[in-house]
Amino acid sequence: MSYTIEHLATDFLIIGGGVAGLRAAIELARNGDVLVVTKDAPSESSTEYAQGGIAVALSDEDEISIHFDDTIKAGDGLCTRKSVGTLVEEGPTRIRELIAWGAEFDKEGSKLAFTQEAAHTKRRILHAQGDSTGHEILRVLIDKVRTTQRASKIDFAFTADLIIEKGRCTGAVVVQQRLGKVLVISARAVLLAAGGAGRLFERTTNPPVSTADGMAMAWRAGAALVDMEFIQFHPTALFLPGAPQFLLSEAMRGEGGMLRNTDGLRFMDRYHPARELAPRDVVTRAIHSEMIRTGADHVYLDMTHMFDKYLMWRFPRIYRTCKELGIDISRQQIPVSPAAHYIMGGVKTDLWGATTVPGLFAAGETACTGVHGANRLASNSLLEGLVFGERAGLGAARYAARRERPEAPSGRFLKDLEKRHSGVNTASDIDFVRTSLRKIMWENAGILRTRKGLQAATKKLREWYRMIKNPPLERQALELKNMIEVAHLITRAALLREGSVGGHYRTDFPAKGKNWRKRIVLEHTRSRR
């Protein structure tokens, strides 16, 4: 396919339109023109799909210090304490700000209503419309961005690569496949907020857009990545042949939902004293063990002891979706099994979103500040997007204050671009490899891992990378390259960590092992712990 090439210039380029990207856009619009690029429709982000809520220490019974302790404990000893402190201390301000902008969180009378989720010792989870918290936050942020009058948006535009000139990031190459255009966008600073990597796994709660694009392009640009071995598998995704892998919110267990095996027995008391409210990695492995023990491919989430009117009020989206799929959750147990949900690792940043590449910033699930450690505390992700989205915006604004808008890239750059994307891949090849990759990652880099399985996955990923090294400028091919690259980073880090911590579990190294507190940083020149 042939493309026309256009050059655009802006002060700030944001790649991704979820909570982190939009909160950064609000901040950056105070300092210049902002362009937000998303590869799909505005609603296609993990923020939109977030059901359970947003964790914040705002209730009368809670304290910031308790939220801090719960986050550290859930992270299994690998959280960066300064990052966690920043999250929990600035979180209340960000939430009050959202409410001032029009966010309508659920209330009990005149007070905010809080619920509890796994590994929280207090009821601190705010929710909106029962189980549509992400949707409400996205609505408010989009409205606020519109009021700035200095932010514009391009949807259905795939960012193929970052532009690096003289060691700093000066823009990105964006493909508008439907229009037959390639946009070469120059910017004083670039911020990655492109979401996670759930689509690298056969079972996932993530939307189709979560193909690790931000991490892959940061890696190619020379940025360091960290904690890539730590994948969180959500314990309760709907398991129904032919149906979507729909997330059953953690809040359902927080409100009293019970896990039962296919023999009808409640089993979590055999695995953890907190039962269904144990940390996610513990619950996930417990479910996995029960499935193996009973020879089943699922367990059940039981809400049948609760009133149907309460369930319809508290979990309207879940209630409605399950009903459409033939399950009345007030009368029938829900078949569930784990699915890939969140990556704790990502592009290494400081507390202001700066990566190891000058001019390049990152926030949200694409980034890794160390706030989640080895296992994210439930409902901390939306709060992280708000807190570190704002901080990344401030950091990018400070950086850009010392820079002029870069000039258009040279003719040599355009020739190199054409060379880098000279390959031809058929749709059938791409679909086959994509399906095979997700299956291999689920089986070999999923809930339980071994050296043998990780090595097998790594070998196959290398073969596929040679096939897709120079993809055409088409979304499916570009996504596949990103998936292969980041999948390889995950298996590489998982091989290096010869021990089990949080979401990373090696059956050949079940103990934490020596030097387990050291984080694995992946860089082009070397990998270090």
For residue 491, the domain's CATH number is 1.20.58.100
pLDDT of amino acid 52: 63
- The total domain count for the chain is 2
Does residue 514 form part of some domain? yes
How many angstroms separate the CA atoms of 264 and 100, rounded?
A: 47
Does residue 486 form part of some domain? yes
How many angstroms separate the CA atoms of 283 and 277, rounded?
A: 8
pLDDT of amino acid 47: 53
- The secondary structure of residue 472, as a DSSP letter, is -
CATH label of the domain that carries residue 296: 3.90.700.10
pLDDT of amino acid 53: 86
Shared-domain flag, residues 426 and 523: yes
Taken in order 199, 445, 217, 459, the sign of the CA dihedral is negative
Query: Which distant-in-sequence residues (6+ apart) come within 8 Å of 361 by Cβ?
Result: 24, 189, 190, 191, 192, 349, 352, 353, 354, 355, 392, 395, 396, 399
Does residue 374 form part of some domain? no
Does residue 333 form part of some domain? yes
List beta partners, residue 506: 449, 509
Instruction: Return the amino acid letter for 144.
Output: K
Which candidate, 123, 135, 119, places its Cα nearest to that of 50?
Answer: 135
Does residue 495 form part of some domain? yes
* Active site residues per annotation: 280
Query: Three-class SS of residue 522?
Result: strand
Q: Which of the listed residues 298, 322, 337 is the one where a domain comes to its end?
A: 337
How many angstroms separate the CA atoms of 501 and 511, rounded?
A: 8
Low-confidence ranges of the chain (pLDDT < 70): 1, 42-52, 411, 422-424, 525-529
The Cα-based distances of 165 to 221, 309, 470 in angstroms read 10, 59, 21
Shared-domain flag, residues 427 and 333: no
Does residue 84 form part of some domain? no
| Residue 2 parent element (H or E) | none
**What would the two tokens of residue 388 be?**
């570190």
pLDDT of amino acid 526: 53
How many angstroms separate the CA atoms of 90 and 389, rounded?
A: 12
How many angstroms separate the CA atoms of 27 and 497, rounded?
A: 38
**Which residues form the domain of 471?**
422-528
Q: Which of the listed residues 268, 303, 337 is the one where a domain comes to its end?
A: 337
Does residue 183 form part of some domain? no
Residue 183 phi/psi, 5-degree rounding, is -100, 120
Would you say 268 and 307 are in contact if contact means Cβ atoms under 8 Å apart? no
Does residue 138 form part of some domain? no
pLDDT of amino acid 378: 87
Instruction: Return the amino acid letter for 434.
Output: R
pLDDT of amino acid 418: 73
Stated pTM of the model: 0.94
| Residue 71 parent element (H or E) | helix 64-74
Q: Which of the listed residues 337, 369, 391 is the one where a domain comes to its end?
A: 337
